[in-house]
């Protein structure tokens, strides 16, 4: 499957702004997490991005590149804004498409998987005449991941662990829609790289921020030990042990000497 992944805006186009956040930064962060999850955990997937850094690309450049490359799916990542009064998640396909089109079928799957994990109110599946939905020759979806000018949504959007969950929701949808196969040859074992476990959430968040400053994505999950909640920092889940070892070495090189791998049977 060839995915063209499009983080909206960039460069001198910040997109929406609010609560100290810039849409272009959030879009890019979520998209990079989607790319890494796909590359690390699935086989026979190619990902091409309209931008992987903070640069400006025109709408025409994005769609022309996707069309010329022959992408199977165009996925555009955005965040919303509306005077601070609206909140929630919604996604769009082109307004000309019927509900039984292949694009709409993909939208149904993506919407279900994303809203399952994103902790946002569900504003529904919608249609619009957006350029990236109209000018692409393959099925295309544009996701609006919260309202950046709404304080409640923005509190989530500013959290790296939330953005990781949102990225995972997109990936779960892609895996279902395109029947993606794990890169472990059908193994039912997964290797999670753990970069710390803490009883205080703020300590776990500090570890996530430290890893992010070293270019390593991670998020906070909760486990229960002897009846007590612990906040566990995870930086990758792999079906291939060698890939997990590579990530573990990256984490240790950043100075996290107590990182380790957890092997789990799915």
Can you give the CATH number for the domain in which 215 is found?
3.30.70.1070
Burial class (CB in 10 A: 0-12, 13-18, 19+), 83: exposed
CA 209 vs CA 111, 196, 237, 246: distances in Å: 29, 13, 19, 20
Same domain membership, residue 188 and residue 74: no
Question: Last residue of a domain, which of 181, 210, 245?
Answer: 181
pLDDT of amino acid 239: 76
pLDDT of amino acid 187: 47
Same domain membership, residue 209 and residue 82: no
CB atoms within 10 A of CB 263: 10
Same domain membership, residue 158 and residue 40: yes
Same domain membership, residue 162 and residue 63: yes
Instruction: Tell the residue number behind the tokens 């079928």, with chain if given.
Output: 105
pLDDT of amino acid 266: 52
Can you give the CATH number for the domain in which 72 is found?
3.40.630.40
pLDDT of amino acid 226: 65
Average pLDDT (27-55) is 94
Question: Last residue of a domain, which of 181, 209, 226?
Answer: 181
Q: What is the pLDDT of residues 76-89, one digit of tens each?
A: 999 999 988 899 99
The confidence band for 183, taking pLDDT boundaries of 50, 70 and 90, is: confident
Q: Give the H or E element holding residue 198.
A: strand 189-198
Query: Is 264 an annotated catalytic residue?
Result: no
The confidence band for 186, taking pLDDT boundaries of 50, 70 and 90, is: very low
CB of 236 closer than 8 Å to CB of 244: yes
DSSP code of 37?
A: H
Q: Which domain holds residue 15?
A: 2-181
Question: Last residue of a domain, which of 125, 148, 181?
Answer: 181
Statement: residue 90 has pLDDT above 50: yes
Computed over every residue of the chain, the mean pLDDT equals 92
Strand order in the sheet with 219-225: 219-225, 228-238, 189-198, 260-265
Same domain membership, residue 150 and residue 71: yes
Same domain membership, residue 229 and residue 175: no
Q: What is the pLDDT of residues 135-178, one digit of tens each?
A: 999 999 999 999 999 999 999 999 988 898 899 899 999 999 99
Same domain membership, residue 190 and residue 177: no
Query: What is the total count of domains within the chain?
Result: 2
Same domain membership, residue 122 and residue 158: yes
Average pLDDT (216-242) is 84
CB of 143 closer than 8 Å to CB of 170: yes
Same domain membership, residue 144 and residue 42: yes
Same domain membership, residue 154 and residue 32: yes
User: Which one of 23, 90, 113, 144 is the catalytic residue?
Assistant: 144
Same domain membership, residue 154 and residue 26: yes
Q: Report how far apart the first and last C-alpha atoms of the chain are (Å, whole number).
A: 24
Same domain membership, residue 197 and residue 136: no
């Amino acid at each position: 499957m060839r995915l063209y992944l499009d983080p909206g805006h960039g460069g001198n186009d910040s997109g929406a702004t609010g609560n100290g956040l810039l849409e272009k930064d959030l879009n890019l962060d979520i998209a990079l997490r989607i790319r890494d999850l796909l590359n690390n955990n699935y086989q026979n997937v190619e990902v091409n991005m309209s931008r992987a850094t903070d640069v400006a690309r025109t709408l025409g450049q994005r769609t022309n590149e996707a069309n010329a490359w022959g992408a199977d799916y165009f996925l555009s990542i955005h965040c919303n804004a509306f005077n601070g009064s609206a909140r929630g998640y919604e996604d769009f396909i082109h307004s000309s498409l019927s509900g039984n089109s292949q694009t709409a079928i993909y939208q149904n799957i993506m919407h279900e998987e994303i809203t399952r994990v994103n902790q946002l109110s569900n504003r529904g599946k919608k249609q619009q005449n957006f350029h990236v939905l109209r000018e692409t020759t393959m099925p295309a979806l544009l996701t609006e991941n919260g309202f950046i000018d709404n304080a409640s949504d923005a509190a989530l959007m500013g959290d790296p662990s939330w953005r990781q969950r949102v990225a995972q929701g997109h990936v779960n949808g892609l895996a279902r829609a395109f029947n993606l196969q794990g890169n472990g040859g059908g193994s039912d074992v997964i290797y999670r790289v753990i970069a710390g476990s803490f009883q205080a959430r703020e300590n776990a968040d500090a570890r996530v921020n430290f890893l992010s400053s070293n270019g390593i994505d991670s998020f906070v999950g909760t486990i229960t030990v002897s009846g007590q909640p612990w906040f566990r920092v995870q930086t990758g889940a792999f079906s291939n042990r060698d890939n997990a070892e590579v990530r573990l070495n990256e984490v240790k090189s950043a100075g996290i000497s107590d990182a380790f791998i957890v092997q789990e049977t799915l």
